[in-house]
Amino acid sequence: MAALRALWLLCLAPAGAVWPQPQSQLSPPGGRRCPLPPARFRFAFAQGSAVGPGCAVLDAAFQRYRALLFAARPDENEPPWGIPCTQLDVFVATPGCDGFPSLDSKESYKLSVLEGSLLLSADTVWGALRGLETFSQLVGRDENGTYYINETEIVDFPRFPHRGLLLDTSRHYLPLRAILETLDVMAYNKFNVFHWHIVDDPSFPYESSTFPELSKQGAFNAMTHVYTASDVQTVIEYARLRGIRVIAEFDTPGHTLSWGPGAPGLLTPCYSGKDPSGTYGPINPILNSTYQFVTDLFKEVSTVFPDFFLHLGGDEVDFTCWKSNPKIRAFMEEMGFGEDYKKLESLYIQRLLDIISSLSKGYIVWQEVFDNEVKVRPDTIIHVWKEKPTLYMEEMANVTKAGYRALLSAPWYLNRISYGQDWIAAYQVEPLNFKGSPQQKDLVVGGEACMWGEYVDVTNLSPRLWPRAGAVAERLWSNATVRDLEDAYVRLADFRCKLLGRGIQAQPLYVGYCENEFGGF
C-alpha cells in the first residue's frame, strides 16, 4: 500500500520540505546548514526596498513569524557550529502597504539562503508574505535545540490567482476566533481568498446597518450569534494583513428563508390550492419593492466589503412556491414566459446584476446562472460546483468556451468525509483537464475548497479542514507536474506536524506521530 511506504519514507523526509511545493527549489549538495540564533535573529528591509519600517503588512508579519519560528524558549547561547544567519533581508520592488490584495495581485517571490546571508525579494508585499511563510517552513531544530536553515534557492509563484476557501456561517454560527484561526492556516497554505458564505436559509448572522431587523429576526440569537460591523472589519483587516481577500456571498433569490422575518413582503407567499399555506419560498421577483430592498442592501454590502467582487449565488432556486402563487402565475402569463420558471429566475438575476454593476462591483455566480442563460457581463466569473466528474469538466469546458472566467469547487467539498485518506482524491484533481483551447484554459482563474456547515461547527471545523484543505492548496499553487502521491504524503504529513506545533488541531493523515502532537491540547 502506497501509504505504508510513505509512512516509512517519512523518516527520510528532507529537512525543509515546503507545502505547497515551490515552483523551483535548488539546494547545493552536502546539505550545508546555517544556524539561527534566536536572541540575535531579526527581519529587516533590504537596502533599496520600496517599502520599509512602518509598512503595517510586513511589520505585523515579522512579529508573527518571529513568534512562529522560535516558539520554544530561545537559546541565549551562540550556536555551537557554523556561521550564524542573524538577519533575513526583505526587498519589495513595488511600493504599497495600505491597499487590499486583488485578483491581479502579484505573489511571486525569490528566497536565497546562503551561508551567513538570507534574502527574500518580491514584487509586492503580498509576494513577500508568501516568501515569509516558505522561510518559516524551512527552519528546523536539531537534536541539541539549535535552530537552523538549510542552504537553498527558491523561485516561486502561484499557478492560479484565485485560491479560495469557503466557510458557511449560516447553518452553524462560527465564532470570530474560529474564523481568524482559519485565516491564519489559510496563510500557512498560501490560500488567498476567504469566501464568506455569511447568510443562508437557516440564519442571517450579518448585522446590517441598513436593515438591522434582518439579524434581529433572522439570526439564531441576535445577541450572541451575529457578526457586528466591528467583527466584519476585524475579519477584513486580519485577512488583509495575511494577503487574503474577503469575498462575501449573499445568495439570492433562493437560500433566503432567514431573510423573511426581518424583511416582510420580500419572500414569496406559497399557496395550497387557492389559499396561502403560511409558508414562504424564494425572494418575490415580481415586486418593485424587492429591487429597492436589494439595491439598498447591496449598497451597504458593497461599501463594507472592499474587494471588487461580490458572490451573488443564484443556485438551487426551488420553483415550487413560485408555481403555487397566483400573482406570479399571472405575471408569467403577462410576460409570455409560459411554464418556464427559469425565465422568471433569469429576470430577477439580470436585474440584480444590473444593480451590482451600477455599484461598480464585479460578481461571481454559481453555475446555474450560466446554465439558465442569464445575460451576464463578459467579466463575470462562473463558479462550478455540481459534482459528477464528467459533468463538472463539461461545465468548465462550456463556461470557458462561452468566454467566461471559471472557478472550480465541484471536487473539493471538504465537508464530505469518508474513511481513509480522502485528501488523495482532492489532490489528484487537475482543474484544466477538460477539452478546450489554450485560450479556454487561461480563463480558469482558480478554485475553492468548500466547507459547508450542515454538520460542521467550531467543535470540528479545524480537524475536518486541515490538513485536507492543503491538498487543494497545493493543487492551486504548485506546478501541474507536482503529482507524486508518495512525495506529497511525506510533505503533507510533515506540514501537519508543523500545524500542530502552531496550535492547530489538524487531524492525522494516517498512522504515525508528531514530536509536538500534544502541544495544543
CB-based burial, 268-306: b 16+ in 10 Å, e otherwise:
bbbbeeeeeeeebbbbbbbeeebbebbbebbeebbebbe
Strands (E), 159-273: 162-168, 193-197, 245-249, 267-272
Percentages of the chain per state (helix, strand, coil), in multiples of 5 = 35, 20, 45
- State the Cα–Cα distance between residues 279 and 258, nearest whole angstrom: 12
DSSP character for 227? Answer: B
Q: Give the end-to-end CA distance of the chain in Å, rounded to a whole number.
A: 31
Per the CB < 8 A criterion, the answer to whether 479 and 157 are in contact is no
CA-CA-CA-CA dihedral for 231, 237, 238, 243, to nearest 10: 150
The three cell numbers of residue 84 are 550564524
316 is a catalytic site residue: yes
CB-neighbour burial class of residue 132 (10 A; exposed 0-12, middle 13-18, buried 19+)? buried
Please, what sign has the CA dihedral across residues 18, 24, 28, 30? positive
Per the CB < 8 A criterion, the answer to whether 325 and 285 are in contact is no
Catalytic pick from 78, 115, 316, 339? 316
- State the Cα–Cα distance between residues 262 and 218, nearest whole angstrom: 6
Instruction: Give residue 499's identity as a one-letter amino acid code.
Output: L
Angle between helix 56-69 and 125-138 (nearest 10): 10
- State the Cα–Cα distance between residues 211 and 295, nearest whole angstrom: 12
Q: How many CB atoms lie within 10 A of CB 86?
A: 16
Residue ranges in 219-271 assigned as alpha helix (H): 229-240
Return the active site residues. 316
